[in-house]
Structure 1
Amino acid sequence: MIPLRWDDRPVGLRDPALVCAFTGWTDAGDCASSALGVLSRRLGAQRAASVDPELLYTMQSYRPRITIQDGISEGLTWPTIELRAAVVPQASRDLLLVTGPEPAMRWRSLCETLVETARSLGARTVVTLGGLLSDVPHTRPVPMTGLATDLELLAGVDAMLPDYDGPTGLTGVVHAEAARQGLAAVSLLAHVPHYVAGVPSPKAALALVEAVETLTGVPVPTERLRDAAARYERQVSDAIDQDPERRELLARLEQMADLRDIVGEADEEDAEELGEALGGDPPLPPLDTDIPSADSIALDFQRYLREQED
């Protein structure tokens, strides 16, 4: 196991649930890490521990950040995995939040440490969050893929149940380690439109936050995030409306999404056949980088995130 650097080991937590999200491969649209950030800020979570970055990262890939003000260096910020504790008096339980860049090495040891630490603090449930790029329209509710050690844990969450055999991210290893240690585990992946892959998706982040509320029973204030999600949808729609070809292709993605809702997950192949019969076209191509990503949606969401900081 990897040792933790404790700032302040929490005591007296009430049936805490461990919630994890990491930047990297399974964080499309920054939705999982953003959702974790919203949970941390809105619930007043305090950092309890971190991991020595030299145990996890190669610094050529994850360089430290330096802050310079008027020619004077004010310090370094190192990449690391952080454990935060959120005490939520208005709920029947508390939360343990883990986030940071997906490490370059020692995944198994890290996951053993995280799950064992959560168990020692009274956790019996683990939730991991992620995002994946998908052929979905931004104008429909965010689809979710879910897996669990017991499918009853997904009650209340509208999630598709996948069949998959292939590589996984760190969240998959956390899920497997939680199951190995006998904890209840749920993993959720929000689907993000691939044609706005480079844009932060507050709409997907909101869907993940709401799913955490359902799974844990911990209420989270989301008014500002809802506003950001509405602006995101409006701005992407405005960009697509400028291009008749993309409008048509988006309409076909919406048609396919509606067909899946009608036919159902179990008959996905039937939905695809219906779409082809109706003249379905290839997926919507990526938007040009200047519509309206960094200059509009990303800055708007970043501004929202800054407003949440202490």
Structure 2
Amino acid sequence: MREEAKPGSYAYLLAAFDGWNDACSASTNVVRHLLNAYPSQEVGSIASEDFYDYQVARPMLCHVQGKRSICWPETKFYEVSISDATRLLVETGPEPNYHWSEYCRQSLHMAEDYEINSIITLGSMFADCPHTRDLPIDDLASDDASCDTEGHSGPVGVPTVLDAMACQAGFSTESIWVSVPQYLGSDECAQATLQLLRRVSSMLGEPLEEGDLPMKAEHWKAQASVLIHCNDELADYVHRLELESDSKAASLIPEAVDTPAGDELVREAEEYLKSMGGQA
């Protein structure tokens, strides 16, 4: 039985899905972190039979208390106790293979049952970005009047479909995506998870527990740096990404606070990129 809403509280649904939308497990690891860091309880699920291709999302053989059982792919909902002012419902599971509209409708029915005010979807994607800088975060909020958003055009995953249907149903929505360096492969990226968690913390207005994520993020950076030092070609590629990142950051500095150092940074980046183009 769900807990009644407290006077003055605000309720969020936070959703992240395994699969195409979850590079390096960065977004679903935010949910796993919250479930480990705070008191939580499972409060619902979406049955798997109608939504999954079991040759793609295969059932797993599990051992519980010495007994074997089949664990089917499934989307689950958890109540997470953050504070009296903030009620958090989280949704996580593999991205479904079939019937996305019905799947999202069932998700929104759960949100309605729990009197959710705002829906936040999380995602992570591979991109050309350096591990030595803050990873890029895209924050796409829906327009209350038209549900229009700016940004990505092209193929989408179930977080985007859920976000669109939620907006049409009258929910406030926000979609947060982090980019992870594609040159480092698919190992877990604690830095991306940490940055998503901090963005969620800012949205909730709550200082969320970070646990050992900062330490894991530093370890991830250290491992990446070792890899770069062992490969001159990769080191040159990362240096180019650093210059592109710094040039973009410098271009966002307001003219009123522009500095000679910022101008020099832009010039250095432009000269380097021109030289790389001449070598192509």
- TM-score, with structure 1 as normaliser: 0.77
Find out whether 1:17 has 2:31 as its counterpart: no
Secondary structure of residue in 2 paired with 1:61: coil
Contact 1:20 1:127 in 2 (8 A): yes
Give the distance between the partners of 1:74 and 1:128, measured in 2 at CA. 34
Stretch of structure 1 that moved more, 172-181 or 115-124: 115-124
Judge conservation of contact 1:17–1:96 (CA < 8 Å) in 2.
yes
Paired residues, number: 259
Among candidates 199, 203, 212, match of residue 191 of structure 2: 203
Aligned-residue offset at 1:273: 11
Residue of structure 1 in register with 2:39 after alignment: 44
1:127-156, Cα deviation, whole Å (9 max, x unpaired): 0000011110011111111211149xxxxx
**Aligned-pair CA distance for 1:243:** 1.5
Which residue of structure 2 aligns with residue 307 of structure 1? none
Instruction: Say if 1:53 and 1:79, in contact at 8 Å, map to a contact too.
Output: yes
Report if the CA contact (8 A) 2:119-2:171 is conserved: yes
| Rounded Cα–Cα distance in structure 2 between residues aligned with 1:133 and 1:273 | 28
Q: Cα offset for 1:278?
A: 2.4
Query: Which residue, out of 150, 173, 179, partners 2:167?
Result: 179
The answer to which of 34-43 and 201-210 deviates more is 34-43
Give the structure 2 partner of residue 238 of structure 1.
Answer: 226
Distance 1:276 1:77 in 2: 54
- The corresponding residue for 1:170 is 158
SS in 1 for 2:212: helix
1:189 aligns with 2:177: yes
Q: For the Cα contact (< 8 Å) 1:256–1:272, is it kept in 2?
A: no
Counterpart of 1:295 in structure 2 is none
Q: In 2, Cα distance between the equivalents of 1:93 and 1:252?
A: 43
The gaps in structure 2 that reach 5 residues or longer are 254-264
Query: 1:262 matched to which residue of 2?
Result: 250
TM-superposition CA deviations, 1:205-237 (whole Å, max 9, x none): 011111111111233211301111110001111
The whole-number CA distance in structure 2 between the counterparts of 1:184 and 1:274 is 43
Aligned counterpart in structure 2 of residue 113 of structure 1, from 86, 100, 106: 106
Matching residue within 90, 93, 101 for 1:100: 93
Quick one: which amino acid aligns to residue 145 of structure 1?
Answer: D
- Taking only the aligned residue pairs, the percentage that are identical comes to 26
Structure 2: distance between partners of 1:63 and 1:172: 24
Residue 68 of structure 1 deviates from its aligned partner by 5.2
Partner of 1:27: 22
- RMSD across aligned positions (CA): 2.6
Report which of the two structures shows the higher radius of gyration computed on alpha carbons. Answer: 2
Would the alpha carbon gap of residues 76 and 103 (structure 1) be closer, same or farther in structure 2, given more than 3 Å must change?
same
Deviation at 1:184, TM superposition (A): 0.6
AA aligned to 1:263 is S
Amino acid of the structure 2 residue aligned with 1:85:
E
C-alpha separation in 2, matches of 1:193 and 1:16: 33
Q: List alignment gaps of at least 5 residues for structure 1.
A: 1-8, 152-160, 266-270, 283-310
1:12-35 deviations in Å (ceiling 9; x for gaps): 144220000001111111100111
The alignment partner of 1:188 has SS state of strand
Q: Is the 8 A contact 2:37 2:211 kept in 1?
A: no
Residues 52 and 80 of structure 1 are in contact (CA less than 8 Å); yes or no, is this contact kept in structure 2? yes
Select between 114-123 and 130-139 the one with higher mean Cα deviation.
Answer: 114-123
